[in-house]
Amino acid sequence: MPRTVKDYCANLYTDTYTSEYDRLATQAIASSRTGRLSEAKQTEIETAAQKEAIKRTLIGGLDKFPEQATDIWRVVYGSHVRRKSGIDDTETIKHVISAHQSWIKSSGHAFEEAIKQLGMEALGEHGIEIILQRDLSSLITSSALDNKERDMDWLRHQTSSDVFDLYALVNRDGKRQCFGCIQSKTSIRDRVTRDREPSLLAMEEFFWSVAITLDGDFLRLQKFSHMVNGGSADYRDNGWHAMYAFSEIESNDRIYQTDLELTNFKEHAVKAADYWLTQRQWFDHKWKA
């Protein structure tokens, strides 16, 4: 791994975590009656700071080293674990386990928020929003979506099952409608079988269904490419409308290497939104941007 990748990402993670923790702690102390932070508040601030550090380092790393997504993620993981477990005594193993559990929780959420941020930057001018699951839940609760009731029932079920991480909304005549479901995973090698079935069901309901992953190396394997593209005895039909990976892979049918600007994802989202609005009755699993 080029040392510049390691140095850049490790320093960015540490600097971001420190500055974000200090900023949030200063705000909390200023608003506290005691002028001190409770243990619960410290934990809350640490969680928020490490999530921001993971997100910002991922985006910064991809911007500077766009062809080294896997290396970037490895460095961010190492930086996170070292910060959480940096003790050289008999408690080290316990702290490493705690650090790994912390990483799993924070990294997944950070990656979702990174995709939301990149998606909004790419698609905002097209009247398309990329939102988190909790954002969709809030819109449903406040009756701020203009989907038909059948859609609403289905979407309520999705938000209660944690199947999709993000959703795509389109603004038509000042009204917001959800037209797409997005799974975002740092690596879905171990989850692709589980996540494929919900995607098939989303396409049966005439929603755009796609996945975004950081590490797409597993897509080089025939089994996994068939799970996405279909065309085999075990996976006759495609499992998603498209799958996008940041790591360096060769685009193959519905599998695409994407970039920090989400160039092909953006192009496909615009086409999907237009088709969904005008010809939704034909928007089944066969649709392809």
In degrees and rounded to multiples of 5, residue 54 shows phi and psi of: -65, -50
- C-alpha 239: how far from chain center: 18
Q: What is the pTM of this model?
A: 0.81
Name residue, tokens 């080293």: 65
Rg (CA), the chain: 20
Domain range summary for the chain, segments of one domain joined by +:
3-108, 127-282
Task: Compute the distance between CA of residue 53 and CA of residue 11 in angstroms, rounded to an integer.
Answer: 10
Given a contact cutoff of 8 angstroms between Cβ atoms, the answer to whether 268 and 210 are in contact is yes
Amino acid at 88: D
Q: What is the reported pLDDT for 108?
A: 86
Task: Compute the distance between CA of residue 285 and CA of residue 274 in angstroms, rounded to an integer.
Answer: 16
Q: What is the reported pLDDT for 218?
A: 86
Among candidates 261, 254, 237, 258, which has minimal Cα distance to 246? 258
Q: What is the reported pLDDT for 265?
A: 98
Among candidates 51, 75, 52, which has minimal Cα distance to 62? 75
Q: What is the reported pLDDT for 208?
A: 98
Q: What is the reported pLDDT for 182?
A: 97
Q: How would you write the pLDDT of the chain (289 residues) with one tens digit per residue?
A: 556 999 999 999 999 999 999 999 999 999 888 888 899 999 999 999 999 999 999 999 999 999 999 899 989 988 898 888 776 555 665 677 678 778 878 888 999 999 999 999 999 999 999 999 999 999 999 999 999 999 999 999 999 888 899 999 999 888 999 999 999 988 877 667 788 999 999 999 999 999 999 988 888 889 999 999 999 999 999 999 999 999 888 899 999 999 999 999 999 999 999 999 999 999 999 999 9
HSE of 8 in the Cβ direction (CA atoms, 13 Å)?
19
Q: What is the reported pLDDT for 87?
A: 64
Amino acid at 177: Q
